[in-house]
Amino acid sequence: MDLSIIGYDPVGAWMKTAGTAEELLSYRNPSGITWINVEGIGNKLDIVKLAENYKIHPLTVEDIMDTEQRPKAEEFDDYIFITFKAVNRNRTSEEGTNIFEQMSLVLMESTVITFQEIPGDSFNGIRKRILNNAGRIRKMGTDYLAYAIMDAIVDDYFLVLDKLGSSIEDFEDRAVDERDDNFIRDLQGVKQSLLHVRRIVWPLRDSLSMILHLESKFIEPELEPFFKDVHDAVIQAAETVESYRELIAGVMEVRLSMMSHRMNSVMKVLTIISTIFIPLTFIVGVYGMNFRFMPEIEMRYAYPIVWGVMILIVAGMLIVFKRRHWM
């Protein structure tokens, strides 16, 4: 478990790292804002110690450590608790798809605590802005810090969506390649990834909407446009997911129609060949019979006449096939 603590106020800023909760709790920032970041949530003892120190409810601790917890926001007397999923920047799955991790944020009067399932995050930009006093962040409260963190995390969703978007475009080309045996399986993979993003985005949308309608002492009215902006980005992500689902449905339709069209054309070839040659084979079979009394057999021009008849039959059939647009 990696612990880091950043303290800042409009005048100055400092950052420390710690190995244990006890060590971390020895650092104090009496006047300004404190941001504690916990990476790795396996060590229950340390998290409980931290929670007790900051009066965090045991049920919140349970949610922080539950990596299956769905995104939600809850207001307590001493803090607002938000839990959601973040794109992990350091790892991808074997198939190259992104891994999401459990991320929790406790927003208090003068302290923000973030908990990450996996070490490594997208917060370097925010840390630099604090330490270098860039933009307005040093002049604002914990609510702005919470906004900045969520903004960074939601921006990462679009990286994942862009990757999914371009892989859907690949499928648009693959849809007409008849030898692509893994098409459906691969497309299902993308679809399930998309549904995974959806399950991450939708509840966050509701949570942010809940925060927007909360008249909490932890969020200044002046911060409303900022939280609205994150909310809006999450809605945009949700709509992108829906439009990708429609694209996938379209690709699927093209694929199925291609396969059915191909089946039709295979059947047509079979039918044309059979329809032409089966009757001819019957005719030549007739004159292969060994009856003693078959007058045609002895006729001088029987053989060329049979050929002529067969050519006429083939010609007639070809005309019918042309008319029916089978050729």
Q: Which one of residues 11, 31, 260, 323 is an interface residue with a copy of itself (CB under 8 A)?
A: 260
| Nearest-angstrom CA–CA distance, 11 and 28 | 16
- Contact segment (CB under 5 A) with Mg ion among 163-171, 208-216, 229-237, 244-252 equals 229-237
Give the nearest distance from C-beta 5 to a copy of itself in angstroms.
27
From the list Mg ion, a copy of itself, none, partner contacted by residue 118 (C-beta under 5 to 8 A by kind) = Mg ion
The token pair at 183 is 């098409």
Torsion of CA 130, 12, 219, 84, to 10 degrees: 30
**Shortest Cβ 31–a copy of itself spacing (Å):** 27
Task: Identify which range of 14-22, 35-43, 109-117, 283-291 contacts a copy of itself by CB under 8 A.
Answer: 283-291
Tell the smallest beta-carbon distance from residue 256 to Mg ion (Å).
23
Which residues neighbour 260 within 8 Å (Cβ) at sequence distance 6 or greater?
none
> Does residue number 45 form part of the binding site for a copy of itself (CB under 8 A)?
no
Q: Taking a C-beta distance cutoff of 8 angstroms, is the pair 6, 15 a contact?
A: yes
Query: Contacts with a copy of itself in 175-204 (CB under 8 A)?
Result: 178-179, 181, 184-185, 188, 191-192, 195, 199, 203
Q: Which amino acid is at 37?
A: N
Instruction: State the nearest-atom distance from the C-beta of 17 to a copy of itself, in Å.
Output: 32
Question: Per CB under 8 A, does 291 bind a copy of itself?
Answer: yes
What long-range pairs does 88-91 form, CB within 8 A, spacing at least 24?
Answer: 88/118, 88/120, 89/120, 89/121, 89/122, 89/156, 90/118, 90/119, 90/120, 91/118
Which partner in a copy of itself, Mg ion, none is near 217 (CB below 5 to 8 A by kind)?
Answer: none
Residue 188 binds which one of a copy of itself, Mg ion, none, with CB within 5 to 8 A depending on kind?
Answer: a copy of itself
Are 207 and 107 within 8 A, CB to CB?
no
Least distance (Å) from a copy of itself to the CB of residue 111?
20
Our CB check for a copy of itself shows the closer of 45 and 90 to be 45
Q: What is the DSSP string of 264-308?
A: HHHHHHHHHHHHHHHHHHHHHHHTT---S--HHHH-TTHHHHHHH
Query: Rounded to a whole number, what is the distance in angstroms from the first to the last CA of the chain?
Result: 71
151 binds Mg ion per the rule CB under 5 A: yes
93 binds a copy of itself (CB under 8 A): no
Count CB-CB contacts under 10 A for residue 218.
19
Residues in contact with Mg ion by the rule CB under 5 A: 62-63, 66, 116, 118, 120-121, 151, 206, 229, 233
